[in-house]
Amino acid sequence: MIGKVSTAEAVFIHLKKLIVGGELKPGDALPSERELQATLGVSRISLREGLARMSALGLISVAHGKGAVVSKDINIGSVADALLPLGFLKEGEHLEELYAARIMIESELAALAAVCRTEEQLQALDENMEQMGDRLGDEESFVELDLEFHRIIEDAAGNRFLSLMHRAIEGPVASLVTMHGASRESREKALERHARIMSAIKAKDASMARELARKHLLESKG
Amino acid sequence: MIGKVSTAEAVFIHLKKLIVGGELKPGDALPSERELQATLGVSRISLREGLARMSALGLISVAHGKGAVVSKDINIGSVADALLPLGFLKEGEHLEELYAARIMIESELAALAAVCRTEEQLQALDENMEQMGDRLGDEESFVELDLEFHRIIEDAAGNRFLSLMHRAIEGPVASLVTMHGASRESREKALERHARIMSAIKAKDASMARELARKHLLESKG
DNA sequence: TATGTTTAACTGGTATTATCAGTATAATAA
DNA sequence: TTATTATACTGATAATACCAGTTAAACATA
């Protein structure tokens, strides 16, 4: 009996194969539930549970009264949900793994931002740093501005896949990022490092931006 | 009915909040379906569709006759499924974005491998390169060994999150990776670059391994 | 007493049927 | 023609019954 899957799972696998196999292309409308139910020879319940799985993963999008269509793009929310158990990590190696991934992503975002950034984004970074300078004494505001700094860079990088991973990771490691209890001196140093990263991005020096971002995160970690 | 979301979606959101909020911890058993149905005041169908969503995302794991428990870990299959629409990308900027992410991941894996690699893994890389040397004339085998080389490095890096992203990306960009139609000379150069990466990993030089891997992928791309 | 079998009470899985609720369009009335 | 209404789709929800694994308590047996 090992290997047996439930009917709902079978429906899910079947539909997924149709999409992967190219029989159902992005944007295509699925047959109606009654029709699928008859074609696949399953009950409405199993059919709908299979559809629920598809929908949860963002593979299809269903609308009441209209029908279901194959998604054209990944659903960031779904991916983030699937990565949700990462938040359970408290200490130890798993958290280290996640942190390593974060450094990799952040530094690559900085490198890409150095290439793609617009003048508006440079200005946004400037404003952000100015505000950070004003809030050196306000820990909470500083932390929030710190996160915003990296979010601006993420936006400037213009890579949807990296943005997705960045956001999925941001939550779980937020507790680490937030330098809570850090000294004013450490905040001054962080702002200084931000300035250097910003300079590299402004100068379109991708390698420099990447390395500075990496060092920044490594140093702000301890 | 709560707000504008479906009942099944409301159930899903409710259960997710219980987990995120810490009321349900990883490994905890969920109440039985009949119980949840009564507590939430919804029909069995909606309840089960909500559970199906949870299950599809790998947030819970249900067993026939036993019950459902909160997952302790991310489900690679679920994440990969959610990323499935990436395979729709054919050409253009989206593929470029994915390729940039691939280079980032591969190079970081090489850097981590340089730190964590065991003697067995070094030996596996050695054997792989030896086989590649023997198959310089056999394009198909060479491509397969090429992929294996990077898979060994992925394993050696010992970072589950990066491994996940690596595997999710491997499929969609496979067509790019496979140097189909490349000359024997280009294969010789690729092998040479592999040897240099391997040396850096053996010497535990993370920065060197990262840079060499990055250059390798950039060069083998064209 | 100790052990093996049976049974009963859980659990989730599937199916049937009926009905509610959006949506779009064809038919109809102004 | 235009505005309204009826209708025939679509998915959403529900109630009910029953099937199918799992577990442990009850019980018969050695």
For residue A37, count other CB atoms closer than 10 A to its CB. 18
**Cβ of residue A162 closer than 8 Å to a chain B Cβ:** yes
Structure tokens at A31: 């047959």
pLDDT beyond 90 at B184: no
pLDDT beyond 70 at B221: no
Residues 68-97 of A with CB under 7 A from strand D: 68
Consecutive H or E run containing B29: none
Determine the residue among A25, A48, A53, A210 to mutate to test chain B binding: the one whose Cβ has the most chain B Cβ atoms within 10 Å: A53
Chain B contacts in chain A segment 60-99 (CB below 8 A): 64, 71-75, 78-79, 81-88, 94, 97-98
pLDDT at B3: 46
Tell me what the mean pLDDT of segment B7-12 comes to.
96
**Cβ of residue A101 closer than 8 Å to a chain B Cβ:** yes
B39 touches strand D (CB under 7 A): no
Instruction: Tell me which chain B residues have a C-beta less than 8 angstroms from the C-beta of A20.
Output: 84, 87
CA A156 from chain center: how many Å? 15
Task: Please give the residue that has the higher pLDDT: either B5 or A128.
Answer: A128
Which one of A57, A59, A85 has the shortest CB-CB distance to B71? Answer: A85
pLDDT per 10-residue tile (average), chain A, 222 residues: 77 95 93 95 96 97 95 88 79 75 94 96 95 89 90 94 83 62 83 95 96 91 54
Over the Cα atoms of chain A, what is R_g? Answer: 23
Cα–Cα distance measured from residue B212 to residue B97, given in angstroms and rounded to the nearest whole number: 21
pLDDT at A109: 97
pLDDT at A92: 59
Query: For the segment B87-130, what is each residue's pLDDT rounded down to a tens digit?
Result: 776 655 677 888 899 999 999 999 999 999 999 999 999 999 99
Tell me if B74 and A55 make a contact (CB, 8 A cut-off).
no
Tell me if B79 and A75 make a contact (CB, 8 A cut-off).
no
pLDDT at B93: 60
- Nucleotide closest to residue A1 (CA–C1'): D21
The SS3 assignment for B63 reads strand
User: What is the overall mean pLDDT for chain B?
Assistant: 89
CA distances from B15 to A40, B97, B110 (A): 30, 34, 39
Q: Classify the phi-psi angles of A138: left when phi > 0, otherwise alpha if psi is within -120 to 50, otherwise beta.
A: beta
Query: What percent of chain B has pLDDT above 90?
Result: 63
CA distances from A66 to A58, A70, B140 (A): 17, 13, 47
Tell me what the mean pLDDT of segment B22-37 comes to.
94
pLDDT at B222: 43
pLDDT at B90: 61
Chain A contacts in chain B segment 180-219 (CB below 8 A): none
The whole-number Å distance from B45's CA to C19's C1' is 15
pLDDT beyond 50 at B220: yes
The SS3 assignment for A67 reads strand
DSSP string of A64-87, one letter each residue: TTTEEEE-SS--HHHHHHHTGGGG
Cα–Cα distance measured from residue A21 to residue B88, given in angstroms and rounded to the nearest whole number: 11
Which one of B72, B82, B101 has the shortest CB-CB distance to A57? Answer: B82
Tell me if B160 and A97 make a contact (CB, 8 A cut-off).
yes
Cα–Cα distance measured from residue B101 to residue B107, given in angstroms and rounded to the nearest whole number: 10
The whole-number Å distance from B41's CA to D17's C1' is 20
Cα–Cα distance measured from residue A65 to residue A33, given in angstroms and rounded to the nearest whole number: 11
pLDDT at B125: 96
Residue B2: pLDDT band (50, 70, 90) is: very low
Place of tokens 């470029």: B96
Query: For the segment B33-58, what is each residue's pLDDT rounded down to a tens digit?
Result: 999 999 999 999 999 999 999 999 99
pLDDT at B13: 96
